[in-house]
Amino acid sequence: MTTDHPSVMHVTGRLRELGAQGEVVSLPTPARTAAQAAGQLECPVGAIANSLIFDAEGKPVLVMTSGSHRVDVGQLGGLLEARVSKADADFVRHHTGMPIGGVAPVGHPKPIRTLVDIDLARFNPVWAAAGHPNTVFPTTYDELLRITGGTAAEVG
């Protein structure tokens, strides 16, 4: 069962430590995109909180964006006052300990600066990855801001 995966167990423990209310759910098949997750959860694609890692001049930045949005990299660079590019798989795994498609908003080896898309506030619940492409957990916009220590931002 996917919830027994070491990354998922680590994320689950971190969620408990942070007082998150939702339980990790195992999906029948990997959900590497917001559309795949939304289809399996039978929810709007906008309710999926994509965890996207960007490289801001060598420093990781996590952007939790609505599945119905694309991050505007130029706008993001302006918000961060840095040159920003989409991170490659090695950069993502190094800074999060998780694979692309399964990056959770918490449980990283070191804290990562996080921006949370204001569009996610329209949805309850919001679904986020839990350390593996087959796992997600329900949360709320306010809880997502709290557990990540993130900043609300318009990113798309």
pLDDT tens digit sequence for 10-24: 999 999 999 999 999
Query: Would you state the pLDDT for residue 1?
Result: 55
Give me the percent of the chain exceeding a pLDDT of 70.
99
Quick check: 95 pLDDT over 80? yes
Distance CA 8, CA 29 (A): 15
**Burial of residue 111 (number of CB atoms within 10 Å: 0-12, 13-18, 19+):** exposed
| 155 close to 49: Cβ distance less than 8 angstroms | no
pTM (predicted TM-score) = 0.94
Distance CA 128, CA 48 (A): 6
Average pLDDT over residues 31-35: 88
Going from N- to C-terminal start, the domains of the chain cover 2-153
Peptide bond into 125 cis (omega under 30): yes
Query: For the domain 2-153, what is the CATH code?
Result: 3.90.960.10
